[in-house]
Structure 1
Amino acid sequence: MTRAIPWLSSNSSTFPALSTALEEPNGLLAFGDDLTPQRIIQAYQQGIFPWFSDGEPVMWWSPNPRGIINISELKVNKTLQKVLNRETFTVTLNKNYNQVIELCADAPFRKENTWIVNPMISAYKTLHSQGSSHSIEVWYNEHLVGGLYGVAVNGYFSGESMFYRKSNASKVALVYLAQLLKSINIEFIDCQMLNPFLADMGCIEVSRQQFITQQIAAKAIIPPANFWQARPLTLD
């Protein structure tokens, strides 16, 4: 049995109920042509995110199950721990967001099928300028060699993408993000969908309902006013 997927235009005020998302492809909830920052934040507030490729309409997703990392269960293997102990890299917050998202889009392992297309890059750069999207940068000899970016709604952080140009650099970014969030009692990072890299770092799958329950708790946490200000980061 086929079912029509709703189309969201700029005049559409709400998303469909999450329970109406498809099982195959997992989590497809709606199509649309509205990728304004306002629409994107509205989506993240409900645990929805955009994901599409060049030549496609904007697609909105709420997968079930959902990939998350419980920060207390983040996995740091021996090799990564040695890298952290040696302080091989320096790490910053929101120092060069624009370069991070561009390098994520250009990461060689994505090949030609990246979803970080020009409309997404433009929209998320605007989100960053408005204080809703943030980056972690990993530096080696003053060169940007790894990082990640995502969207924050109060204490809820949804990771979007990461890149590395030196071994372990993206893992280092994730460790520093986890400590930053833990410092204000945020308990998990939304990874959206599980993949082998994230599984190695402790990502698990939970039901949509469990995810929404955890998201509601995270959104109730209000970070300090200066929490996302650009600055160097260190590990405890």
Structure 2
Amino acid sequence: MQIFPPSEFIFPNPIEADPDGQGLICIGADLSPSTLFEAYSNGLFPWFSENDPICWWSPEPRCIIRPQDYQPSKSLIRTMKKMDYKITVNQAFETVIRACSLPRSYADDTWISEEIIQAYCEMAAAGYGYSIEVWANDTVVGGLYGLNIGRGCFGESMFSTQTDVSKMAFYTLMLIGRENQLPWIDCQLVNDHLLSLGACTLSRHEYLKSLQDVIKQPPIDWKKYQDSVFSSKTIAQNARLIE
């Protein structure tokens, strides 16, 4: 992994900067790799609309999911066995983030601007990004992406163009989390969809305390996953990636 020079920006302590617990910590800075590294290492992430100033957030409470607690639904397992999609890791990061940036049926716009896309692609190129892709023939039909610092795994967004394929990517991420003994995967903001997948919450204080421990631990070895093509059918039958 690339070692970034120190960021020129120093982020405020989220707890001291946001006594009312609204989550918006500060506004400004940039999206350079060193700034993103500094922000995520201190429990912040960017979230803002295109053409607006960069806003940095640390919500109270924080939404996380513990990989060891995740249980795929029976309907998902049936679909994975029936359709037998191909699943890869870190093979098409830019394809996934661009697909995640497209407007959804329930919204006309997206926060994933070209500026965000370029910034996170730089993080991925430096070894701090991950993506999981679900393929139908030669087309990516679903997936997710995020960042990884040490044992800290930060989920960003997911997409699907076919039924259940984003859930297949999510299940794959949960298996990677289990195999690497990740204490949690950061889901950032609470929503009903994440809660339906088994997510829960930590107080901001608990999250920040845990974060400082996990980011100092050895990083995930993504190489052992990204050289393989996994079968959704095999994953559904064995509930693991690495034999």
TM-score calculated relative to the size of structure 1: 0.88
Alpha-carbon contact 2:21-2:60 (below 8 Å) kept: no
- 1:231 paired with 2:228, answer yes
More off after superposition, 200-209 vs 217-226: 217-226
Separation in structure 2 between the aligned mates of residue 187 and residue 11 of structure 1, nearest angstrom: 27
Separation in structure 2 between the aligned mates of residue 129 and residue 39 of structure 1, nearest angstrom: 15
Map of 1:132 onto structure 2 = 128
- 1:180 paired with 2:170, answer no
- 1:104 paired with 2:104, answer no
1:37 deviates by 1.0
Separation in structure 1 between the aligned mates of residue 225 and residue 208 of structure 2, nearest angstrom: 24
1:148 deviates by 0.3
1:128 deviates by 1.0
1:215 to 188, 211, 214: 211
Map of 1:20 onto structure 2 = 16
SS in 2 for 1:231: coil
Alpha-carbon contact 1:134-1:228 (below 8 Å) kept: no
SS in 1 for 2:155: strand
- Residues 119-153 of structure 1, C-alpha deviation per residue, up to 9 Å, x if partnerless? 10111111111111110001122321100000000
Map of 2:3 onto structure 1 = none
Map of 1:164 onto structure 2 = 160
2:73 to 69, 73, 77: 77
TM-score calculated relative to the size of structure 2: 0.86
TM-align CA RMSD = 2.1
Alpha-carbon contact 2:9-2:35 (below 8 Å) kept: no
1:206 deviates by 1.4
Structure 1 vs Structure 2: percent identity of aligned residues? Answer: 31
Alpha-carbon contact 1:91-1:233 (below 8 Å) kept: yes
SS in 1 for 2:154: strand
Separation in structure 1 between the aligned mates of residue 130 and residue 17 of structure 2, nearest angstrom: 28
1:231 deviates by 3.5
More off after superposition, 19-28 vs 137-146: 19-28
- 2:125 counterpart letter in structure 1: S
Separation in structure 2 between the aligned mates of residue 165 and residue 225 of structure 1, nearest angstrom: 26
Change (3 A) 1:228 1:63: farther
Map of 1:5 onto structure 2 = none
Separation in structure 2 between the aligned mates of residue 111 and residue 218 of structure 1, nearest angstrom: 35
1:48 deviates by 0.7
- 2:228 counterpart letter in structure 1: R
- 1:172 counterpart letter in structure 2: M
1:22 deviates by 3.5
2:196 to 188, 200, 204: 200
Alpha-carbon contact 1:90-1:140 (below 8 Å) kept: yes
Alpha-carbon contact 1:91-1:137 (below 8 Å) kept: yes
- 1:108 counterpart letter in structure 2: R
- 1:115 paired with 2:111, answer yes
- 1:58 paired with 2:54, answer yes
Alpha-carbon contact 1:21-1:62 (below 8 Å) kept: no
Alpha-carbon contact 2:15-2:204 (below 8 Å) kept: no
Unmatched segments (≥5 aa) in structure 2: 1-5
- 1:32 counterpart letter in structure 2: G
Separation in structure 1 between the aligned mates of residue 222 and residue 164 of structure 2, nearest angstrom: 31
Aligned length: 227
Separation in structure 2 between the aligned mates of residue 174 and residue 167 of structure 1, nearest angstrom: 13
1:182 deviates by 1.5
Separation in structure 2 between the aligned mates of residue 150 and residue 208 of structure 1, nearest angstrom: 20
1:212 deviates by 1.9
- 1:231 counterpart letter in structure 2: S
1:85 deviates by 3.2
